[in-house]
Amino acid sequence: MASHKELEQGGWVATQHRTFTRWCNMVLAKNKNEKIEMKGLVQPNDFASGYVLMVLLETLVPGSKQFKSDHERKQIENPNSTRFVKLDATSRALNFLKDHERLNLVNIGPTDLVDSNLKITLGFVWQLILKYQIADSGAADAEAAKAAAKKNLLAWVNNLITPLNVDPVNNFGRDWSSGLALSALNESTYPELQDLDKCKVRAASAAGRLENAREALHNAVEKMGLPRLIEPEDMAAADPDELSMMTLISVYKENRDRIQGMRSNDLEAEAARRRAAEEAAARKRAEEEEARRRAEEEEARRRAEEEAARRRAEEEAARKRAEEEARRRAEEEAARKRAEEEARRRAEEEAARRRAEEEARRRAEEEARRRAEEEAARLAAEEAARLAAEEEEARRRAEEEARRRAAEEEAARRYAEEEARRRQQAQPPKRQYIMSFLSDALKCYITGHENGTVVCNATVAKQWEYIIVEPLDHTGVPVRLRSWHGKYIHHNFDGTVSQLPPGEGPATDIWFLTREPNQTCIIRTNDGGVLNADAGWGGSVICRQDTGGVNQNISFRGTKIKAVNLRSYFGKFLSIDKKGHVLSGESSAGDNETVTLERAPTANGPGKAYYIKSYHGHYLSAEPKKGVVEAKANQPGNYEMFWIERKGEKRGNESEVLIRSYHGKYIGVEKDKKGTTDANRKVGSDWETFNMFQKDLTRGRAGDVRFIA
């Protein structure tokens, strides 16, 4: 059984315990017949009796009756019920989930919940959240259901936040620690609620990330009426708990339509009603505590009176016996009686004095409590007024900033709106194509450099000379041209041509390809401009009006390639430098570690034959006698032909392969510091095994692109 010290030490266990308890209370609040508020899953253990669990299931599965009768309900609800009753009730609840709800509860038994097994209890509640809160994907096991739910939630979140220029999230852990993703989610749901620019600036520091988390959760809870499932410190941690974040975002998704359907004052009224309900609940708990205290005082007083009556009865009996015994001592007995009477009188006076002091103390405590409540109400009213003033000031500043920018952005806005409408109506392209464009005038290839320039001075088509053609709609006529570095080629207003990352700059990245004779084409813009490669400009690529001439004739060729990284058995990536040296000593994959696979025209041997081309444009070759492996050839031949044989099943973009040369020997890596690579072995073992990671560059048939007439 997990130690409860883990809750005191914090970490993911404490975060899950807090979040899952609050989720259970959120569900129990929907039950109109029972008013239950859980204090904890294991400390204290509100699941121990089985009663809270059965009420929770009646709420999650409407129409299900967990109790056979009212008598049984009261018997299970009794906190002093026997262990047998607790185990029986918990077992029935678990069987209901297994038999009727088809929930796969592996290694979860009634003793785990009754005896406060911390981690198993957390796993059980996660199963409930996954099925009834997030989604029932129909998967056979919990991991598959979690993966499907995680994928759907991430897609839902990214669909809302990426239009706000916020980076997409790829997980429910560290991508949320800056608070920026939740702030963007609030903004998409309730516009002008968050200042995303300020949030992005604050995300650079730990204190700023915590402030982002506090602000985003405050707006979600106080402005939108969402339950407070997680604390800001839990979200701003270096690696937030994944299950807690998935629970929070699923509740957010469930309530988003309700929030968008309400006006601003409706949301504020909803928040006010919720705060009033919480204050009423707090007052009710205080009244119940006061009633309990008064009942205890009344019981103590009653017992004191019974004790005094018993004592007086005993004294009266003793007195009578003394009178019978001391008839001969009448005077002594009279003196003794007077002494006893005086002592009794003093005792009664002392008791009266003590009761008066107790009453005065009680009234003083009530007066102090009343004043404290009044002071708390006054401070809350002042805080609400301050927050309202701050919100009004922020709104005023935002309006002034918007008016200031309106004049500057008007022209760009009209163009962007038209482009957005056209892109929204267009069907997404189903194919992309890799092509190379050769200037007929310069006999050089158009190249997209890493620094954003576009030139025409390469005589050999290497990786930088590959251009990805992306059709914009199902017709395939308007296209975008994307360089090897992932940037789009734009035609600027001053006639220059440059590259910009996706989503940046005006919509000047639309081109039309016009087919010409002899496998050539002309690349045009939508306003009459034509792409030119001019030798007089030092091989520069420009865009000017159509004037004819050979400078604007471009030869094109489609190709089909794969870009991959090869990691050896020893965990190092195959690397080819600019001089053609081949080693395997890098722990991470960069440009030198990226090669492209071009299909070779042969079907000899198992697997598929490829030419392996380095980042620098040279082909990999294997010498037949000494097995020397290098990459210096500009054109492929037999020595540059390799067969790639898959050893096991493909896992996503990763495959385990052997690489066999034209001479039947496998490429292997020696176990040394340099990662010496050769091709001397005729049998493929561990040292000849590579993990091949395919990089997603493009899809569709190469060269199959449409041209306008």
Residue 650 phi/psi, 5-degree rounding, is -75, 135
How far apart CA 231 and CA 229 sit, in angstroms, is: 7
Contact 217, 244 (CB under 8 A): no
What would the two tokens of residue 530 be?
A: 């034509």
Cα of 707 vs its chain's centroid, Å: 43
Of 1, 248, 247, which is closest to residue 127 (Cα–Cα)?
247
How far apart CA 169 and CA 175 sit, in angstroms, is: 6
How far apart CA 396 and CA 615 sit, in angstroms, is: 54
13 contact partners, CB below 8 Å, separation of at least 6? 2, 6, 7, 118, 119, 122
Neighbours of 621 (CB within 10 A): 25
- pTM as predicted: 0.42
Mean per-residue pLDDT pooled into runs of 10, the chain (709 residues): 63 90 91 83 78 87 83 81 87 88 86 87 91 69 82 93 92 93 91 87 91 93 89 92 94 86 60 69 72 78 88 90 90 92 94 94 93 93 92 92 86 71 53 73 78 78 74 68 79 78 73 73 77 66 69 68 81 85 82 82 68 84 84 83 80 82 84 76 79 62 40
What would the two tokens of residue 120 be?
A: 């198993």
Return the pLDDT at 427: 47
How far apart CA 660 and CA 658 sit, in angstroms, is: 6
Cα of 57 vs its chain's centroid, Å: 27
DSSP reduced 3-state for 180: helix
DSSP state string for 199-225 = HHHHTTSHHHHHHHHHHHHHIIIIIT-
Question: The tokens 């040292």 sit on which residue?
Answer: 687
How far apart CA 669 and CA 574 sit, in angstroms, is: 9
What would the two tokens of residue 543 be?
A: 């865009």
Of 204, 133, 192, 132, which is closest to residue 164 (Cα–Cα)?
192
What would the two tokens of residue 319 be?
A: 């007195």
Residue 27 phi/psi, 5-degree rounding, is -70, -45
Beta-bridge mates of residue 455: 447, 540
Rg (CA), the chain: 40
How far apart CA 644 and CA 222 sit, in angstroms, is: 60
620 contact partners, CB below 8 Å, separation of at least 6? 576, 582, 595, 611, 612, 613, 614, 629, 630, 631, 640, 642
Return the pLDDT at 430: 46
Contact 479, 468 (CB under 8 A): no
| CA-to-CA dists, residue 603 to 623, 639, 655, 660, angstroms | 21, 16, 21, 14
How far apart CA 469 and CA 476 sit, in angstroms, is: 10
Give the count of alpha carbons within 13 A of 701, CB side only: 4
336 contact partners, CB below 8 Å, separation of at least 6? 322
What would the two tokens of residue 235 be?
A: 């979200």
Return the pLDDT at 21: 92
Beta-bridge mates of residue 597: 562, 612
Beta-bridge mates of residue 690: 568, 657
| CA-to-CA dists, residue 611 to 379, 392, 530, 619, 634, angstroms | 76, 66, 35, 7, 11
How far apart CA 456 and CA 541 sit, in angstroms, is: 6
Please list the helix, strand and coil fractions of the chain in percent, rounded to the nearest 5, in that order.
45, 20, 35
Give residue 186's identity as a one-letter amino acid code: N
How far apart CA 339 and CA 343 sit, in angstroms, is: 6
What length does the chain have?
709
Burial tier of 75 (Cβ tally within 10 Å: 0-12, 13-18, 19+): middle
DSSP reduced 3-state for 354: helix
How far apart CA 684 and CA 120 sit, in angstroms, is: 46
Contact 43, 4 (CB under 8 A): yes
DSSP reduced 3-state for 445: strand
Burial 632-643 (b: 16+ CB within 10 A, else e): ebeebeebbbbb
Question: What is the dihedral angle through the alpha carbons of 144, 148, 151, 154, rounded to the nearest 10 degrees?
Answer: -110
Return the pLDDT at 606: 60
How far apart CA 209 and CA 217 sit, in angstroms, is: 12
